[in-house]
Amino acid sequence: MGSPTETIGRPSHASSRMVNAVAWTGAATWVAQLASWGYIAIVARILTPADYGLIGMANVPLGFLMIASEFGVGNAVIMLPDLTHRQISQLNTVAVACGFTLFVVSCFAAYVLGMFFRAPELPLVIMVLSSTLIITSFKTVPDALLQREFRFSLLAKIQAAQAIAFGVTAVTSALSGAAYWSLVIANLTGATTATLLVLRSRKHTFAWPQFSSLRQSLLFSAHVFGRSVAWYYNSSADFMVVGRMLGESALGSYTAAWNIAEQPQRKLSDLVTRVAPPYFSNAQGDVAALRKYVLTITQAVSLFALPASLGLLLVADDFVYLALGPKWVGAVLPLQLLAIYSAARCLTSFFAPLLNVIGQSRFVMWNHILAAVYFTVAFYFASHWGIAAVALVWALLYPFIGVPLYLRLFKQIELSWRSYWQSMRPAATASLIMLIGFLIFRNALLSSIGPYSRLPAEIIACVAIYFIALFALHRDELQRLLTMMRGGRRE
């Protein structure tokens, strides 16, 4: 059993490389995100809401089909280190075959969706956008191999190049009068750019699939696929219920709250779940190394996730009033509730891929399938009390997803709760001090001023109190983390 006083200690070379890779990927992600916001601001002034609405309709089936087209093949390549060269070649063929098959399915479904949404332009848009299923299928295995080989600085550059290609194409096409087709063309350009750059860096051969030799990897892929579909459905069910039961206005407020609470944390979760699996796979069977990874990631993620979520909860009322306007006041309480959930999800985001690596993929799949059922029922009943009650479902029921993952993971890698708490302690104690200091500061000095002056002061106060507490109480832990970020070897 892991020692009750086990801590992160001196950074190993592998841990340093992982933290450094997270830093590389995070930098590229946020540069791409900032560039995307700039492009969106320009394009949104040219296009109409109807143009965006049409693309939104097309994305309803494509979001699911993108998950289905990958079928967990990329995860299998990353997380099953014993795959032979020939088996990977066979999986490469499976990935491309899935892309072509689902492209055909999407084309047939396009006409049905056009009639459902009463949008005659929609079928052609769906058909053209569906070609990305074919394009990206060719990079599924090569991209996974680049991750498996820890080439994250290269992948970060490819991600940035994709964002730039998308943005430049979207702006150019919109200025030329392409209307909603500018977004379609931009998506195709971004997907093609990323695929070509990945293939230029890491090609792999194809082989005719022999399913007897792929039994283990395809079973693993099916479990990952089942979990991904269940989560995709679960994270869409609340929007469907709110839209159906409460109408467009309520859905608009709920969507605004969700995007503000979830997007920053999702960026952090996505980059961790992109970088960490190859390191988990490389350490299969080494329980001590896996414990070290869990503690390192938890400490790094909690340092950002906890204060960000708590800070958003504290300033939500002023933030919504200034950023969105008085008509969006209904989004404040849902935003605060979703901020609580978002922090919890961020801390457990890498548990599923780690459990997949250590042979628990079936457990992870059924955990999420069951959650999709009881969350949907809860969303329906909660909708009778408004969008705040729907948001509360996430905060109240997410432990029913997270706690089983905690229990199974801690048992498998022999990790004690005390050790886990020690990794979270710097962020938790500094966040608690930030909360107390903020409430005192706001009530004593800011209660009499308007939101335009109050919000900047609140944000500065949160950041200042948090970092002062962090440096005063946990300087050694921060120094170790910074050493990891500087010490990871780059390609």
Question: Which residues span the domain enclosing 416?
Answer: 13-487
Contact (CB, 8 A) for 369 and 291: no
Is 7 within the bounds of a domain?
no
Does residue 4 form part of some domain? no
Q: What is the pTM of this model?
A: 0.72
Residue 180, helix vs strand vs coil: coil
DSSP count for the chain of H helices, then E strands: 18, 0
pLDDT at 452: 74
Query: For 398-422, what is each residue's pLDDT tens digit?
Result: 999 999 999 999 999 999 999 999 9
Residues 6+ apart with CB under 8 A from 150: 17, 21, 278, 279, 491
Tell me the per-residue pLDDT of 216-227, one tens digit each, with 9 for 90 and over.
Answer: 787 877 787 788
- Give a yes or no: residue 2 inside a domain: no
Structure-model confidence comparison of residues 473 and 8, the more confident one: 473
Predicted confidence (pLDDT) at residue 491 exceeds the cutoff of 60: no
The per-residue pLDDT for range 146-187, each reduced to its tens digit, is: 888 878 778 878 888 888 898 899 889 989 988 889 989 999
Instruction: Give the mean pLDDT of 310-332.
Output: 82
Q: Judge contact between 382 and 390, C-beta under 8 A.
A: yes
393: in domain:
yes
Counted domains in the chain: 1
Residue 381's pLDDT band, with cuts at 50, 70 and 90, is very high
Q: Are 470 and 299 in contact (CB under 8 A)?
A: no
Please indicate, yes or no, if residue 408 is contained in any of the structural domains: yes
Considering only CA atoms, which of 79, 32, 88 is closest in space to residue 274? 79
Q: What is the CA radius of gyration of the chain?
A: 23
Q: Return d(Cα 229, Cα 118) in angstroms, integer.
A: 27
Q: State residue 4's pLDDT score.
A: 42
pLDDT score, position 34: 62
CA dihedral 92, 25, 171, 47 (to 10 degrees): 90
What would the pLDDT profile of 332-359 be if each residue is shown by its tens digit? Answer: 899 899 988 988 888 888 888 888 888 8
Find how far residue 389's CA is from the centre of its chain.
Answer: 24
Give dist(CA 475, CA 211) in Å, integer. 54
Task: Give pLDDT, residue 1.
Answer: 42
174 within domain boundaries: yes
Residue 6 placed within a domain: no
Question: With 50 as the cut, is the pLDDT of residue 271 above it?
Answer: yes
CA angle, residues 37, 346, 165, in degrees to nearest 5:
25
Neighbour-count burial of 34, counting CB atoms closer than 10 A to its CB (0-12 exposed, 13-18 middle, 19+ buried) = exposed
Distance between CA 284 and CA 293 in Å, rounded?
12
Residue of 468, 478, 350, 482 whose CA lies nearest to 426: 478
Helices 387-413 and 248-282: crossing angle in degrees, nearest 10, is 10
**What are the pLDDT digits (tens) for 276-287?**
777 787 777 788
Tell me if 179 is assigned to some domain: yes
Cβ atoms 478, 426 nearer than 8 A:
yes
